Amino acid sequence: MSDQSLAAVVTKQRTQIALSSLRQEGVYDEGRHITEHDDGTVAIPVTDPPAQTDVLEVVRTTGETRLRTLEDHLRQRGWTDGELDAVPGSWAVIGSVILVDTSDTPRPAEVGDALLAMHGHADTVLSRDGIAGVHREPSVEVIAGEGDTHTVHREHGTTYALDLSEVMFSPGNKAERAHMGETVDDGERVLDMFAGVGYFTLPMARGGAHVTAIEHNPTAFQYLVENVVRNGVQDSVETYRADCRDVVARGVEAADPFSFERVVMGYYDAYEYLDSALSALESDGTVHMHEATPEAELPDRPVDRLHAAAERNGRRVSDCEVREIKGYSEGVTHVVVDATVR
């Protein structure tokens, strides 16, 4: 029988790993806070002693029951019903950092404090305001906590180190990152034209593919190289810091030219790079082209763009599928076109 006073003790450095493992076991107690146990350790509330997670010890605690919702926390702080109508409906926890949009919210600092109370392993809250520029740099502001924007995030067995004030990370692409890791075949040659910190490169390399990863942003590239090592896929990933078009042009013209069975284009304006992508893609190869498309133009716009590029390059598109990933903005959807190009 479960015991509502139990907690698993782990070192602070292992909080994220242990929390993920306890969730997978189904014994993490969402209704109580993670608390400090003693110097250097934390107590993670559990419903039963963990059988699969490595912990220092299991103890009994007297922790308070957690307020369940953000509205509960803010109402306790005196927020009115009118103010609560403007409370963010969603946020994302990336490692030890919480990302939330507070652009239309009164008293963002109080929202940040409430989110920290809800997520005991997090230490910083960032208000995000979009991605801009050729290097896809985020616009963020620290609204609560320690202000440490560097973190290590783990999902589906892949580890990402990054600084959320300098490089983008889209929480809504979590399922797509996992999907790409499951899509590749062992030994498959893949080109990732917009690798970032390794969003798709790392799951694909862990899935057995040999990935050529290109990233232009110097900070993102630094984390890409670090993350390749963190995930132990150094033998499966070749990295370039450059404009992907330049790398592809040199590779195609080399004595031993580039040749890829799959090309991943994880960039909303990826269609502008299709000529380069197709020049490096083998016949019967697969292309994954991301795009932010107005709903009224789905599925025609991205598909037409791919067909036009194929025709320019003497190629033919077959087995074309448009998948919706997530909402991008009002009336606009993030989609991926998966297609075989002959």
DSSP 227-270: HHHHTT-GGGEEEEES-HHHHHHHHHHSSS---EEEEEE-STBG
| Below-50 pLDDT ranges, the chain | 1
Helix, strand or coil, per DSSP, at residue 133: coil
160 in a structural domain: no
Q: Are residues 257 and 126 in the same domain?
A: no
State the Cα–Cα distance between residues 314 and 302, nearest whole angstrom: 19
Helix, strand, coil tally for the chain in percent (to 5): 30, 35, 35
Provide the pLDDT for residue 38.
80
Q: Are residues 85 and 184 in the same domain?
A: no
Q: CATH number of the domain at 287, please.
A: 3.40.50.150
- Last residue within a domain, chosen from 148, 177, 197: 148
Give the distance between the most distant pair of CA atoms in the chain: 70
Predicted pLDDT at 1: 41
Q: Please report the pLDDT score of residue 132 as a whole number.
A: 65
**Domain shared by 174 and 293, yes or no:** yes
Note whether 265 and 320 are same-domain residues: yes
The structural domain count of the chain equals 3
Report the C-alpha gap between 335 and 327 in whole angstroms: 9
Q: Which domain holds residue 81?
A: 70-148
Has this prediction a pTM greater than 0.85?
A: no
Which residue blocks in the chain are alpha helix, DSSP H?
15-25, 70-76, 81-84, 108-118, 174-183, 201-206, 218-230, 244-253, 274-280, 300-312
What does the pLDDT look like over 161-174, one tens digit per residue?
A: 999 999 999 988 99
Same domain, residue pair 249 and 270: yes
Omega of the bond prior to 203 within 30 degrees of 0, cis?
A: no
The two three-digit tokens of residue 330, written as one number:
């009002």
Q: Backbone dihedral region of 172: left (phi > 0), alpha (psi from -120 to 50 degrees) or beta?
A: alpha
Give the CATH number for residue 74: 3.30.300.110
- Is residue 128 in a domain? yes
Q: How far apart are CA 324 and CA 110, in angstroms?
A: 34
The H or E element containing residue 132 is: strand 124-132
> Which residues are CB-contacts of 227 (< 8 A; sequence separation ≥ 6)?
159, 160, 161, 197, 198, 202
For position 30, what pLDDT does the model report? Answer: 78
Over residues 263-280, the pLDDT tens digits come to 999 999 999 999 999 999
Residue 155 lies inside a defined structural domain of this protein: no
